[in-house]
């Protein structure tokens, strides 16, 4: 069976005041369906950049990202946005919830963009928020929620269109121990349900819960700790 996601020889170089910054250097990986992969490494090692390349948020300078037979890295901008909407759930490190919307409305946004009807998306959003332990916070806005609760809203939003792949950037980085344990348990449930998960993390407890770890240092991936 073909992997869900394949990245081959990815490079991402930025220009910073006339100097090249090599954020990702020759990264290759495969992610089978239902896999749980942890990207581990120090801050500034390129983990977030790699996640953005895998999601199709950013384009590689060279190399390819393929998912479901589609070379995502070659798609035009509009097609890549559509791919992300339907195929990839992305949890950003800073949540990016809209402050004027309730938790329920934030989770509904991707479904609205995908053309899901209001009744169906409200029911799906409520179901997801119950699943992440926020069934009593549907009408709360982000400013009325703790950091851990906001993180769980962001995860529910990422899952709203039932994507086969979830990418999460430091999902437990700013959470207390108990909330972090809840997120780890949720990821285990998602994996058991068939969702592939890739996380960039400093949390060794989360990395230990993954099926495998890859280390990233100076933009390079390795199967072994430096």
pLDDT category at 213 given cuts 50, 70, 90 is: very high
pLDDT at 168: 95
% residues pLDDT > 90 (the chain): 70
Per CATH, the architecture of 5-96+163-222 is what?
Answer: 3-Layer(aba) Sandwich (3.40)
What are the two backbone dihedrals, phi and then psi, of residue 201, each rounded to the nearest 5 degrees? -155, 150
Closest of 152, 166, 155, 151 to residue 35, by C-alpha: 166
The arithmetic mean of pLDDT across residues 114-140, rounded, is 95
Report d(CA 190, CA 167) in Å as an integer. Answer: 12
Model confidence over 15-69: pLDDT tens digits? Answer: 888 888 899 999 999 999 989 999 999 888 999 999 999 999 999 999 999 998 8
The structural domains of the chain, with segments of one domain joined by +, span 5-96+163-222
For residue 126, the surrounding DSSP H or E stretch is helix 118-131
The arithmetic mean of pLDDT across residues 63-85, rounded, is 93
The arithmetic mean of pLDDT across residues 122-140, rounded, is 94
Report d(CA 122, CA 160) in Å as an integer. Answer: 10
Greater model confidence, 26 or 184? 26
% residues pLDDT > 70 (the chain): 99
The arithmetic mean of pLDDT across residues 102-118, rounded, is 97
pLDDT at 1: 58
Report d(CA 154, CA 94) in Å as an integer. Answer: 9
The arithmetic mean of pLDDT across residues 170-198, rounded, is 86
């Amino acid at each position: 069976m073909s992997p869900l996601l394949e990245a081959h020889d990815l490079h991402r170089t930025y220009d910073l005041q006339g100097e090249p910054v090599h954020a990702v250097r020759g990264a290759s990986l495969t992610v089978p369906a239902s896999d749980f992969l942890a990207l581990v490494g120090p801050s500034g090692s390129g983990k977030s950049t790699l996640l953005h390349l895998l999601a199709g948020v950013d384009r590689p300078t060279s190399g390819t990202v393929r998912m479901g037979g589609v070379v995502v890295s070659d798609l035009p901008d509009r097609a890549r946005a559509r791919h992300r909407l339907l195929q990839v759930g992305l949890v950003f490190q800073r949540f990016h919830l809209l402050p004027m919307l309730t938790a329920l409305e934030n989770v509904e946004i991707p479904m609205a963009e995908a053309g899901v009807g209001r009744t169906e998306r409200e029911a799906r959003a409520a179901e997801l928020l119950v699943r992440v332990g926020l069934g009593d916070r549907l009408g709360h806005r982000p400013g009325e929620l703790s950091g851990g609760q906001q993180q769980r809203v962001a995860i529910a939003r990422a899952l709203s269109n039932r994507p086969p792949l979830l990418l999460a950037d430091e999902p437990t980085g700013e959470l207390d121990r108990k909330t972090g344990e809840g997120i780890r348990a949720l990821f285990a449930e998602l994996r058991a349900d068939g969702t592939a998960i890739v996380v960039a993390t400093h949390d060794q407890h989360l990395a230990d819960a993954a099926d495998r770890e890859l280390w990233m240092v100076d933009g390079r991936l390795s199967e072994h700790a430096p």
